[in-house]
Amino acid sequence: MFLGTSVVALLGMLLSSQPRSSMSFLAHAYAVEVLMYYFLAAWVVLSLVALVNKLARWRDYAVVSPFVRPGFRKVERILSYFVWAFAIVLFVDRGVMGLFAITSSAIASNSNPKDSLSSAIYMLYEGRQIFATGIATTIELAVFGTLIAFFLALLLVFLRIQRIDRPDNDLVRFLKVIGSGFAKVYSAVVRGTPMMVQAGIIYFAGFGMFKGSGMSVTQVNGIWSTFIAGLVTISLNSTAYMMEVLRGGIESVDKGQAEAARSLGLSQWQAMTKVVFPQGIKYSIPGLSNELVINIKDSSVLSVIGVFDLMFATTTVAGIYYRQTETYMVAAVFYLILTMVASKLLSMFAKRLDVKSGPVMGTSDTTIPSAEAEH
């Protein structure tokens, strides 16, 4: 008890030593704050005495020390509540109200303040429309790109896991080999090249194709915008990773279930769609959902082709005020908030489907052990 609360008391004393803001509610209660400060200091001294007593009487501390007596322990617990209460009051007065005061001053300022925090708040307020547009674009790219990639991944993973079946004729066997080979090559190429390079290739190749058809630059931009190119890039990129996640989930289904389905007269297609696929998708949900979080962060590279996402908005504001460090700190906070909210929502979604949420599933070519084998 003494160790944890003494740290809290020291933090409270540190906050009390900080200058008051213009919105401090303790500014007119100096005597009250002094009493709180000395109470916290007394608690730290008491904690040190308890520590010395414990070191001096290490062997029989639990028997002879007055600090372990029931009556003294009850007093300690009550006093620790006051320590926490005083520390919280000081945190609100110095931290929260101080932040409110800085925010109010920065917003009312006619020019960019010199200190970093005020400058970041000032640029955030002045460029709020730019940041809002960038955040909305980032969310749209991540959400729609992940959804499109999921359906494309379902198609590719079906090709990826194709195996030659005994009743197959030569044409079916040829198509299965071609389909499986295409999925493997697609996965290797996409996962082996950076998304930034893919974005440049897709955007400029598409632009050149439309331009070569006789369209003007204005007409091409109306059809092949940077947002569309970015959405195509993030969808095709995520497809490769989600395909491997789905493949891992499908291969984690016990092979005996597919064999049992075949023994009941189901074809390979029926066994896959009615028995294996539903379970495999369920096992893959944590990895599939985490791809959304990855896309929120990875979409930042799309700014190289002019997509007005959060990163593009950040560089725009930084270019206006020439305060790069503060602007990128604002962007970092926004990305952190977006990923934390997405992770929380996806965790709730996984629990609703009775799926254990966890880290991103492997996207390598290694087979994942079956769920039954783990038990």
Q: CATH code at 229? A: 1.10.3720.10
Helix axis angle, 324-352 relative to 277-298, nearest 10°? 170
For residue 221, the model assigns a pLDDT of: 87
How many of the other CB atoms lie within 10 Å of CB of 188?
A: 12
Q: Match 């001096």 to its residue by tokens.
A: 56
Query: Is the per-residue pLDDT at 100 higher than 80?
Result: yes
Check whether residue 134 and residue 211 sit in a common domain. yes
Find the mean pLDDT for residues 121-128.
Answer: 93
- How many Å apart are CA 239 and CA 195, to the nearest integer? 12
**pLDDT on residue 36:** 93
Residues 284 and 353 in one domain: yes
Distance (Å, rounded) from C-alpha 364 to C-alpha 338? 27
Q: Assess if residue 156 is contained within a domain.
A: yes
Residue 269 belongs to a domain: yes
Higher pLDDT, 352 or 222: 222
Q: Select the more confidently predicted residue: 149 or 289.
A: 149
Which is higher by pLDDT, 72 or 120? 120
User: What average pLDDT does the segment 345-356 reach?
Assistant: 75
Q: What is the pLDDT of residue 354?
A: 67
225 and 352 co-located in one domain: yes
Residues 159 and 78 in one domain: no
What are the residues whose beta carbons fall under 8 Å from the beta carbon of 170, sequence distance 6 or more? none
In this structure, the answer to whether residues 222 and 366 fall within a common structural domain is yes
Least reliable range by pLDDT among 228-242, 244-258, 296-310, 339-353: 244-258
Does the pLDDT value for residue 247 go beyond 90?
Answer: no
Confidence band of 61 (pLDDT split at 50, 70, 90): low
Range of weakest confidence among 44-58, 106-120, 154-168, 309-323: 154-168
- In this predicted structure, the answer to whether residue 359 has a pLDDT above a threshold of 70 is no
- Supply 23's token pair: 């919105």
Q: Would you state the pLDDT for residue 365?
A: 46
Asked if the structure places residue 121 within a domain, the reply is no
Q: Do 274 and 148 reside in the same domain of the chain?
A: yes
Q: Give the pLDDT band of residue 37 (cuts 50, 70, 90).
A: very high
Are 76 and 200 within one domain? no
Q: In this structure, are 183 and 95 located in the same domain? A: no
Q: Is residue 223 part of a domain?
A: yes
Confidence at residue 362, expressed as pLDDT on a 0 to 100 scale: 40
Contact 368/361 with Cβ under 8 angstroms?
A: yes
pTM for this predicted structure: 0.78
In a domain, 119, yes or no: no
For residues 194 and 231, state if they share a domain: yes
Looking at the fold, whether 97 and 159 belong to one and the same domain comes out as: no
pLDDT for the residue numbered 368: 42
Q: Give the pLDDT mean for 103-114.
A: 90
Domain membership flag for residue 224: yes
- Can you tell me the mean pLDDT for 300-308? 93
Q: What is the pLDDT of residue 268?
A: 66
321: in domain: yes
% the chain with pLDDT above 70 = 89
Residue 202 has pLDDT above 90, yes or no: yes
Handedness of CA 21, 129, 295, 307 (dihedral sign): negative
Tell me the pLDDT of the chain averaged across its residues.
Answer: 85
**Residue 41 predicted with pLDDT over 60:** yes
Say if residue 169 is in the same domain as residue 267: yes
The count of structural domains within the chain is 2
Query: How confident is the model at residue 166, as a pLDDT?
Result: 67
Considering the domain architecture, whether residues 234 and 341 belong to the same structural domain is answered as yes
Q: Exposure of 30 by Cβ count < 10 A (0-12 exposed, 13-18 middle, 19+ buried)? A: exposed
User: Would you state the pLDDT for residue 269?
Assistant: 67
The pLDDT assigned to 373 comes to 39
Give the C-alpha separation, 101 to 41, whole Å: 28
Question: Is pLDDT at 367 greater than 60 in this prediction?
Answer: no
Secondary structure of the chain in HEC code, one letter for each residue: CHHHHHHHHHHHHHHHCCCCCCCCCCCCCHHHHHHHHHHHHHHHHHHHHHHHHHHHCCCCHHHHCHHHCHHHHHHHHHHHHHHHHHHHHHHHHHHHHHHHHHHHHHHHCCCCCCCHHHHHHHHHHHCHHHHHHHHHHHHHHHHHHHHHHHHHHHHHHHHHCCCCCCCCCHHHHHHHHHHHHHHHHHHHHHHCCCHHHHHHHHHHHHHHHHHHCCCCHHHHHHHCCHHHHHHHHHHHHHHHHHHHHHHHHHHCCCHHHHHHHHHCCCCHHHHHHHHHHHHHHHHHHHHHHHHHHHHHHHHHHHHHHCCCCHHHHHHHHHHHHCCHHHHHHHHHHHHHHHHHHHHHHHHHHHHHCCCCCCCCCCCCCCCCCCHHHHC
Residue 193 lies in a domain: yes
What range does the domain containing 163 cover? 128-374
